[in-house]
Amino acid sequence: MGTSPKVGAVVITMGNRPDELRALLDSVAKQDGDRVEVVVVGNGSPVPDVSEFSSSVRTIELPENLGIPGGRNVGIEAFGPGGREADILLFLDDDGLLARHDTAELCRQAFAADPKLGIISFRIADPETGQTQRRHVPRLRASDPMRSSRVTTFLGGANAVRTKVFADVGGLPDEFFYAHEETDLAWRALDAGWMIDYRSDMVLYHPATAPSRHAVYHRMVARNRVWLARRNLPALLVPVYLGVWLLLTLARRPARSALKAWFGGFKEGWTAPCGPRRPMKWRTVWRLTRLGRPPVI
């Protein structure tokens, strides 16, 4: 990547958090080292006024909401095909805030030091309490969010990706719209030989929220879980993986309306097209297992 890798950033917005967006862009502008160029994608909505950052921020307004992966893919392509005009792309939620001024520089150092490192997952912390929700630590053993480690997936709105990963395996799955698109990309990257790190010292401040705040949460989670398996897993593991998640969902005793939506999404996952099937190699299954998360859970 050379002595000074170019870092860019992609932010998608629905245009409803203008103050938070400007605060995020300010935190990106204050990063140490070379300037980070930002692309803000209005996902079916106008982009709020960010003219104060005009020297480093480009905006794209889409006529319709393409979903999270679709919007981020547009941001990637704004840096050239597959993002190749940048060496590293940060993906940041529009209501997040980089906690430190050295995050971009830490990313440059991490990717330069490890040629097989493809993706870095940041730690998300609540700006008021400093606490990290368990669901924001992308591994099964999530009790200590301050421990950095190799992982098998990453957080969609708080990460950095070496753009060579996109050249190798493609972008995020547009079809998913919302939920599990990161794991789909992570599995494809791992299958291509890339590694993923969770770094507790790279922090994005973000208010603590529940994913179920999204109206489509239960349906999308179930549908995309099936799609994830159908697209990526060896045939023998598909029923095992989905059977485990069915049991886990029932064990959590969701509300009847939520369970109805979940089963509707589960059925849709089997009947609707999910894109190309490229089952991972068995050695990738073993790698995932050694990293602590076999692809059955």
pLDDT tens digits for range 69-83: 999 999 999 999 999
Average pLDDT rounded to a whole number, residues 87-114: 98
Average pLDDT rounded to a whole number, residues 173-178: 97
Which amino acid is it at 11?
A: V
Residue 116 has pLDDT above 60, yes or no: yes
Residue 291 has pLDDT above 80, yes or no: yes
Q: Which residues, listed in sequence order, are joined to residue 196 by a DSSP beta bridge?
A: 119, 151
Q: How close are the terminal C-alpha atoms of the chain, in Å?
A: 35
Residue 136 has pLDDT above 70, yes or no: yes
Residue 87 has what pLDDT? 98
**3-class secondary-structure state, position 117:** strand
Residue 213 has pLDDT above 70, yes or no: no
12 Ramachandran zone, left/alpha/beta (phi>0; psi -120 to 50): beta
Model confidence at 53, in pLDDT bands (50, 70, 90)? Answer: very high
Residue 215 has what pLDDT? 59
In angstroms and rounded to an integer, the radius of gyration of the C-alpha atoms of the chain is 18
Residue 4 has what pLDDT? 86
Using CA atoms, how far apart are residues 125 and 99, in angstroms rounded to an integer? Answer: 9
Model confidence at 260, in pLDDT bands (50, 70, 90)? Answer: very high
Model confidence at 212, in pLDDT bands (50, 70, 90)? Answer: low
Mean pLDDT value across the chain: 96
Q: For residue 32, give the nearest of 101, 112, 120 by alpha carbon.
A: 101
Residue 66 has what pLDDT? 98
Note the pLDDT tens digit of each residue in 20-49: 999 999 999 999 999 999 999 999 999 999
Average pLDDT rounded to a whole number, residues 161-184: 98
Q: How far is CA 291 from the centre of its chain?
A: 19
Model confidence at 209, in pLDDT bands (50, 70, 90)? Answer: confident
User: Six-digit token pair at 129?
Assistant: 């309490």
Residue 216 has pLDDT above 90, yes or no: no
Using CA atoms, how far apart are residues 1 and 86, in angstroms rounded to an integer? Answer: 10
C-beta of residue 7 within 8 angstroms of C-beta of residue 86? yes
Question: Under 8 Å CB-to-CB from 31, ≥6 apart: which residues?
Answer: 7, 98, 101, 102, 103, 104, 105
